[in-house]
Structure formats: structure tokens, C-alpha cells
């Protein structure tokens, strides 16, 4: 057996083990299913208002922004994002993953310490791993454990949290965490991916809602959720932007997005202040009230569009998701190790385009599966 055949057998063995443990992932097409899965909370990805006439702009970026890919549309979009959130400057990356990896891999030095919530996104973890800094975790939203870790940390201290957590949908105690960071002279970085568009008077997020811009070193705003687009921005002061242009490898060595995408970001930010957040929160309240009738299973406590049905087993979670897909609902199972063992779940996302009738039908199908 040659090396190629041997390695292909190794790959298949790994895949077989994943399948046997209920961990094998696959790609699916939503088709015409009722969407209870996407992060398109405001329905922006369906909006004709974000259409850009591309023939007026070049279709390709032609290179990285450090070489030939910069354009006035990119810089205008960054200025708009920064002003909207009350920051001096912003830098747009090709994705939320690229933004977090780029920021966290270069912002700290050897001898510094990252202190992150244990539920922080994988992109942040990957970025921290690429740095030379120490890494410690604190228990999820636990202020006492955070203070313990802050007291023990060495060097420059960076605290990393999400304002709304992507798997549980719960909110970080931002004001209290900001106070602790000030007490221990630590720098706070907040990922607002799932708060953008949903929270704040204009959909400007929780850092803006609590007027914490001057207390937060950097915010990450991801456009692939409620903004219905692609890409992400790191917002901070002008020095932060210049530093990332020079140090963030995921920015320096990536081909830029094409100009029409920056134009769409500008259009999305024009729409955010008048989005249908009232209807979205009405549906969230309705869903939570209906969930109380299903006492046989655990629903996560969340006031955001992200709601969770904890199943506690990979195979059972996948089976329930398959049942719901078969009956017209697009919902995905979230398996360990993405979530802790015993917390395997269905992640249900609510959108302003969903209806109370669709929620009722979803609850009925969950009841049928449980029987």
C-alpha cells in the first residue's frame, strides 16, 4: 500500500469514528424550509434595499488592500461603521473569523495575558493561540472567577467576551465586567457579532447601549448576522486601525472584498436604525411563553433571538433536527465539542420574518418527536 492509499484509509477511519459517535457534520441545502436556523435576524439578506448595481464598480478586488485592493468604498464604509458605533476608526476584514484571528494574534506580546470567557468563539481562541501571550479562561459570565483571574494575571491584561453569546444567546454583564477591567487596569475587547442590529436604540449593539465605548479597547462587528451580508469590522481608535493594517496577518495577506460589498455594508448601516426590532422581540417573548408548555425538555434562558433546546446527546439532537427538517423546519443540531458534553442542543434562531403560527407549528413538531 502506498502513502496516498494509506492516508486515505486513515481519513476514512477518522470519519467512521465521528459518525459512530454522532459527531459527523455535513452540508445541507435549506431549500424551501422555514428558517429557524440562520443568523439573519432582521431579514436583511432578503432585502432588495441592499442590492448594488455592480456594473458601476469593478467586480474584483484585484489584490489585498495593502497592494491594489483598497478603494474609496472600503474607506467610506469603515468611516460609516466607526461613526455609527461612536468610535474614531474601524478596519474591515473579510469575515468575523478573520477579524478575530487577526486582532488577537497580534495585539498581545510574550508575557501578556488573555483572559477569556469559557464560551468565547472559536475564532477568538484560534487568534489567541497564534499569539505568544498567556491564555486563561474564566467561568461563563462569572464575575468572581474573572476577578480571581485578573488578580493572578501578568503583563498587559486583555479580557475577551461576547456581548451576546452565539450558542446560549445570553448577555454578558458588560457594565460589571468593564468596572472590573478598570479596577485591575485590564483592556476589554468585546465581540458584538450577535448584538449588532438587534440591541441598542439604533441596532448599534450593547457597548453603545451602555455607553461603554470609552471603556472598551476594541469591538468586533460582524456583518454576516443581522446585517445580512459578509465581512466584519474591528472598531477602536485610529492607532488601533493603523496597527492592524501593519500587524494583522489575516488582513495583510487576504485579497480584499470587491467594492460592491463595501457599498452593501454602507446600505445596511443606513437601514439598521429603522429595522423591525419591535416585531423581533415580540416573537422572542411569544416563543419563550410557548416553550414553558414543554416542561419535559430544557430551554436555555435567553432574551435574544438565539434560543436553545438542550437535548444532552449528540445522536438524539441530530435525530430531533432531522425530524424537524422532514416536517418543514430548517434547524441544525449543535453537537459537542462545539458545546459542552451533556449540553448538545438544537439552536433555534428567531427572525422578524417568522410568524407566531410558525412557532406554534414548530412546538407541535417538537412535542410529536418527544412522544
Per-residue 3-state assignment (H helix, E strand, C coil) for the chain: CCHHHHHHHHHHHHHHHHHHCCCCCCCCCCCCCEECCCCCCCCHHHCHHHCCCHHHCCCCCCCECCCCCCCHHHHHHHHHHHHHHCCCEEEEECCHHHHHHHHHHHCCCCCCEEEEECCCCHHHHHHHHHCCCEEEEECCCCHHHHHHHHHHCCCCEEEEEECECCCCCCECCHHHHHHHHHHCCCEEEEECCCCCCCCCCCCCCHHHHCCCHHHEEEEEEECCCCCCCCCEEEEECHHHHHHHHHHCHHHHCCECCCHHHHHHHHHHHHHHHHCCHHHHHHHHHHHHHHHCCCCCCEECCCCCCEEEEECCCHHHHHHHHHHHHHCCEECEEECCCCCCCCCCEEEEECCCCCCHHHHHHHHHHHHHHHC
Average pLDDT over residues 113-127: 97
> For position 360, what pLDDT does the model report?
96
Phi, psi of 222 (to 5 degrees): -100, 130
Q: How far is 280 from 284, CA to CA, in rounded Å?
A: 6
User: Is residue 16 situated within a structural domain?
Assistant: no
Q: Say if residue 54's pLDDT is above 80.
A: no
User: Is residue 335 situated within a structural domain?
Assistant: yes
Average pLDDT over residues 156-169: 97
Are residues 36 and 330 in contact, defined by beta-carbon separation less than 8 angstroms?
Answer: yes
Average pLDDT over residues 42-52: 88
User: Is residue 2 situated within a structural domain?
Assistant: no
Cell numbers placing 316? 438524539
User: Is residue 14 situated within a structural domain?
Assistant: no
CATH at 92: 3.40.640.10
Boundary of a domain, candidates 273, 307, 331: 273
Q: What does the mean pLDDT of the chain come to?
A: 94
Q: Assess whether 109 and 242 both reside in one domain.
A: yes
Q: Assess whether 84 and 167 both reside in one domain.
A: yes
Q: Assess whether 283 and 269 both reside in one domain.
A: no
Q: Assess whether 53 and 187 both reside in one domain.
A: yes
Boundary of a domain, candidates 245, 273, 301: 273
CATH at 302: 3.90.1150.10
> For position 56, what pLDDT does the model report?
75
Average pLDDT over residues 4-17: 94
Q: Say if residue 55's pLDDT is above 70.
A: no
Domain containing 29 equals: 23-42+276-370
Q: Say if residue 126's pLDDT is above 90.
A: yes
Q: Assess whether 190 and 223 both reside in one domain.
A: yes
Average pLDDT over residues 150-166: 97
Q: Which of 26-30, 57-61, 111-115 reaches the highest mean pLDDT?
A: 111-115
Residue 213 confidence class, pLDDT cut points 50, 70, 90: very high
Q: Assess whether 95 and 190 both reside in one domain.
A: yes
How many domains are there within the chain? 2
> For position 1, what pLDDT does the model report?
66
Q: Say if residue 13's pLDDT is above 90.
A: yes
Q: Say if residue 346's pLDDT is above 90.
A: yes
pLDDT > 70: percent of the chain = 99
Residue 165 confidence class, pLDDT cut points 50, 70, 90: very high
Least confident of 31-45, 75-89, 224-238, 330-344: 330-344
Are residues 153 and 186 in contact, defined by beta-carbon separation less than 8 angstroms?
Answer: yes
Residue 53 confidence class, pLDDT cut points 50, 70, 90: low
Q: Assess whether 35 and 56 both reside in one domain.
A: no
Q: Which of 16-25, 49-58, 109-118 reaches the highest mean pLDDT?
A: 109-118
Q: Assess whether 145 and 57 both reside in one domain.
A: yes
Average pLDDT over residues 186-207: 98
Q: What is the largest CA-CA distance in the chain?
A: 64
User: Is residue 337 situated within a structural domain?
Assistant: yes
Q: Say if residue 154's pLDDT is above 90.
A: yes
Question: Would you give the distance in Å from CA 41 to the centre of its chain?
Answer: 12
Q: Assess whether 149 and 124 both reside in one domain.
A: yes
Residue 32 confidence class, pLDDT cut points 50, 70, 90: confident
Q: Assess whether 198 and 134 both reside in one domain.
A: yes
Report in angstroms the alpha-carbon separations of 315 from 173, 201, 332, 333.
Answer: 34, 41, 12, 9
pLDDT in tens, 216-255: 999 999 999 999 999 999 999 999 999 999 999 999 999 9
User: Is residue 183 situated within a structural domain?
Assistant: yes
Q: Assess whether 33 and 179 both reside in one domain.
A: no
Boundary of a domain, candidates 242, 273, 304: 273
Amino acid at each position: 500500500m502506498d502513502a496516498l492509499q494509506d492516508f486515505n484509509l486513515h481519513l476514512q477511519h477518522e470519519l467512521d469514528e465521528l459518525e459512530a459517535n454522532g459527531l459527523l457534520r455535513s452540508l445541507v441545502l435549506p431549500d424551501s424550509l422555514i428558517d429557524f436556523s440562520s443568523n439573519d435576524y432582521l431579514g436583511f439578506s432578503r432585502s432588495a434595499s441592499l442590492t448594488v448595481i455592480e456594473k458601476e464598480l469593478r467586480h474584483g478586488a484585484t489584490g489585498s488592500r495593502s497592494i491594489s485592493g483598497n478603494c474609496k468604498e472600503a474607506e467610506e464604509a469603515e468611516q460609516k461603521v466607526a461613526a455609527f458605533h461612536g468610535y474614531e476608526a474601524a478596519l474591515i476584514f473579510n469575515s468575523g473569523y478573520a477579524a478575530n484571528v487577526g486582532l488577537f494574534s497580534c495585539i498581545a506580546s510574550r508575557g501578556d495575558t488573555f483572559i477569556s470567557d469559557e464560551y468565547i468563539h472559536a475564532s477568538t481562541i484560534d487568534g489567541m493561540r497564534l499569539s505568544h501571550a498567556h491564555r486563561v479562561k474564566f467561568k461563563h459570565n462569572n464575575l468572581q472567577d474573572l476577578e480571581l483571574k485578573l488578580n493572578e494575571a501578568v503583563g498587559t491584561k486583555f479580557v475577551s467576551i461576547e456581548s451576546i453569546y452565539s450558542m446560549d444567546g445570553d448577555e454578558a454583564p458588560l457594565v460589571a465586567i468593564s468596572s472590573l477591567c478598570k479596577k485591575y487596569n485590564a483592556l476589554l475587547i468585546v465581540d458584538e457579532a450577535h448584538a449588532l442590529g438587534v440591541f441598542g436604540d439604533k441596532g448599534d449593539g450593547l457597548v453603545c447601549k451602555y455607553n461603554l465605548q470609552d471603556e472598551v479597547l476594541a469591538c468586533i462587528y460582524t456583518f454576516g448576522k443581522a446585517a445580512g451580508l459578509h465581512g466584519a469590522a474591528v472598531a477602536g481608535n485610529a492607532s488601533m486601525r493603523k496597527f492592524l493594517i501593519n500587524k494583522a496577518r489575516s488582513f495583510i495577506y487576504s485579497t480584499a472584498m470587491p467594492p460592491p460589498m463595501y457599498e452593501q455594508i454602507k446600505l445596511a448601516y443606513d437601514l439598521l436604525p429603522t429595522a423591525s426590532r419591535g416585531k423581533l422581540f415580540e416573537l422572542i417573548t411569544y416563543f419563550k411563553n410557548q416553550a414553558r408548555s414543554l416542561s419535559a425538555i430544557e430551554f436555555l434562558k435567553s432574551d435574544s433571538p438565539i434560543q436553545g433546546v438542550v437535548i444532552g446527546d449528540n445522536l438524539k439532537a441530530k435525530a430531533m433536527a432531522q425530524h424537524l427538517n422532514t416536517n418543514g423546519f430548517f434547524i441544525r443540531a449543535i453537537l459537542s465539542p462545539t458545546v459542552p458534553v451533556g449540553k448538545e442542543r438544537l439552536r433555534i434562531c428567531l427572525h422578524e420574518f417568522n410568524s407566531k403560527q410558525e412557532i406554534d407549528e414548530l412546538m407541535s413538531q417538537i412535542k410529536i418527536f418527544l412522544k
